[in-house]
């Protein structure tokens, strides 16, 4: 059946903010055919770019490909949907760089293993010659990408065995390690790709330019630096990356049950890390860590984010700066078919800002996977809306 895009507006909004509840709020769904998700959004010149996973056939076994769409500032689709690669895959992060659009994620190879992909497209999503698929034994996939003076720095994940394998070094086959890929503007690797992590599972979630000219990576590890029995589940994992790609000794933080990093921002006096604690389901809640510039020191502030006694179960998926001194957190509250999109603002200590929260609900399950904000205070969120065996890319634009 011929592929197509359809747009629906079906959700009912619930919000604690008085402002913005007029025609300024835009909510739209995009679906090529069957099961589509939005993972990341970038602000372009008079447009937005959304990347994720797209299908092009109305079939349960249709190939799900990495894809990208472009909308106007009104949320309406511009041009055609662009799928990336010839096999199954998914795009995890998109950035706008000048007149180009760059995204990373993965495609499957002939052995059905994941290979890192990086694509550069023109602003109208037409193809250019710059594309890279990094093939290696095992599974590798791109998580985040930032522009650098020499080209790009890709934060990725691998499950390839790394020697020597000891309690604190190396990686067991099938366990996750963090990869850092330095590439030039033509997407050519500049050096060998160093893996970072312990023998268990370590996975980065975001990379940001640091104050010292290098970069900072935050992620999640299943290793703990506390005595056995004092901390269970995952912990927060962070380390610096020098301008030459070398890394510093990682820092592990942990003191609650099952901590998972979601995103972070670099501040003038440290780092604000957002994440989720507790097990998936009824015990999940948002959590914030304020770390000093010396990441080996104790957190200056850490606590649950108490946004509403009624929202007892929620998770954080993304974070961004908002206006001059506050931040936006986006994710999901509730579980199953009662799960809804959640976007709210916090100050630099992680305290929710009064009357700055929006939730969205309707048929099926909704989640916000990414959030950005522009200079005018517009908030743009993308994610997915799932019902039965189908899902659509969800686009939400509003102002508090």
pLDDT at residue number 335: 79
Read off the tokens for 237. 């994992």
Radius of gyration of the chain (CA): 20
Name 346's Cβ contacts closer than 8 Å, sequence gap at least 6: 288, 305, 326, 327, 329, 352, 353
Q: How many CB atoms lie within 10 A of CB 297?
A: 11
Q: Dihedral (C-alpha) 29, 31, 36, 42: value to the nearest 10 degrees?
A: -60
Give pLDDT, residue 3: 40
Q: Summarize the chain as % helix, strand, coil (round to 5).
A: 0, 55, 45
- Per DSSP, what are the bridge partners of residue 133? 117
Helix (H) or strand (E) holding 253: strand 251-253
Residue 18 has a pLDDT of 33
Q: Which two tokens stand for residue 90?
A: 């998914």
Burial class (CB in 10 A: 0-12, 13-18, 19+), 46: exposed
Q: How far apart are CA 182 and CA 154, in angstroms?
A: 7
Q: How far is CA 24 from CA 27, 192, 384, 399, in A?
A: 10, 48, 21, 7
Residue 145 to residue 264: CA distance in whole angstroms: 14
HSE on the CB side for 206, CA within 13 Å? 22
Whole-model pTM: value is: 0.90
Output the CA–CA distances (angstroms, integers) from residue 184 to 149, 192, 208, 214, in the order listed.
9, 13, 18, 16
The pLDDT of residue 387 is 79
Tell me which DSSP letter residue 75 carries: S
CB crowding 107-128: b at 16 or more within 10 Å, else e:
bbeeeebbbbbbbbbebebeee
Give pLDDT, residue 226. Answer: 65
Provide the pLDDT for residue 233. 79
pLDDT at site 256:
76
Per-residue tens of pLDDT for the chain, all 400 residues? 334 444 444 333 333 333 334 458 898 888 766 678 999 999 999 999 999 998 866 555 678 899 999 999 999 999 777 888 888 999 999 999 999 999 999 999 888 899 999 999 999 998 877 788 888 888 999 999 999 999 999 999 999 888 876 666 678 888 999 999 999 999 998 887 778 888 889 999 999 999 878 999 999 998 876 665 556 679 999 999 887 778 888 899 887 778 999 999 999 999 999 999 987 777 789 999 999 999 999 999 999 998 888 778 999 999 999 998 999 999 998 877 788 899 999 999 999 999 999 987 667 889 999 999 999 999 999 999 887 778 889 999 999 9
What domains lie within the chain, and their CATH numbers? 6-398 (2.130.10.10)
Coil, helix or strand for 365?
strand
> Closest Cα to residue 247, out of 158, 178, 304, 347?
178
Angle at 212 between CA 218 and CA 323, to 5 degrees: 70
Q: Identify the pLDDT of residue 6.
A: 45
Q: Are 361 and 14 in contact (CB under 8 A)?
A: yes
CB 235 within 8 A of CB 254: yes
Do the beta carbons of residue 261 and residue 318 sit within 8 Å?
no
d(CA 357, CA 332): 12
């Amino acid at each position: 059946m011929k592929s197509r895009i359809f747009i629906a507006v079906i959700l009912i909004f619930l919000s604690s903010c008085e402002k913005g509840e007029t025609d300024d709020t835009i909510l739209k769904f995009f679906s090529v055919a069957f099961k589509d998700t939005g993972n990341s959004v970038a602000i372009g010149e008079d447009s937005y770019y959304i990347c994720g996973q797209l299908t092009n056939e109305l079939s349960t076994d249709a190939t799900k490909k990495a894809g990208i769409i472009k909308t106007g500032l009104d949320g309406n689709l511009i041009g055609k949907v662009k799928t990336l690669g010839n096999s199954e895959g998914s795009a995890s992060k998109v950035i706008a760089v000048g007149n180009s659009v760059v995204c990373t994620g993965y495609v499957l190879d002939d052995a059905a293993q994941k290979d890192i992909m990086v694509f550069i497209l023109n602003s109208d999503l037409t193809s250019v010659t710059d594309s890279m698929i990094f093939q290696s034994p095992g599974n590798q996939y791109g998580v985040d990408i930032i522009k650098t003076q020499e080209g790009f720095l890709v934060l990725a994940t691998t499950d390839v065995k790394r020697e020597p394998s000891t309690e604190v070094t190396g990686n067991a086959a099938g366990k996750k390690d963090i990869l850092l890929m330095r590439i030039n503007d033509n997407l050519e690797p500049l050096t060998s790709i160093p893996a970072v992590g312990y023998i268990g599972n370590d996975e980065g979630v975001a990379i940001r330019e640091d104050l010292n000219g290098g970069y900072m990576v935050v992620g999640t590890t299943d290793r703990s630096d506390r005595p056995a029995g004092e901390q269970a589940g995952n912990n927060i994992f962070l380390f610096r990356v020098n301008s030459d790609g070398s890394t510093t000794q990682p820092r592990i933080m942990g003191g609650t049950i099952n901590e998972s990093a979601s995103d972070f921002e670099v501040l003038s006096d440290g780092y604000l890390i957002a994440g989720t604690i507790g097990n998936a389901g009824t015990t999940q809640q948002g959590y914030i860590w304020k770390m000093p510039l010396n990441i080996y020191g104790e957190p200056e502030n850490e606590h649950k984010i108490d946004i509403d006694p009624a929202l007892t179960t929620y998770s954080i998926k993304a974070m961004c700066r908002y206006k001059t001194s506050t931040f936006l957190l986006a994710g999901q509250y509730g579980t199953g078919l009662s799960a809804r999109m959640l976007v709210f603002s916090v100050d630099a200590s992680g305290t929710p800002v009064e009357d700055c929260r929006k939730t969205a609900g309707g048929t099926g399950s909704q989640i916000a996977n990414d959030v950005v904000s522009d200079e005018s205070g517009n908030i743009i969120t993308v994610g997915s809306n799932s019902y039965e065996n189908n899902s659509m890319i969800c686009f939400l634009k509003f102002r508090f």
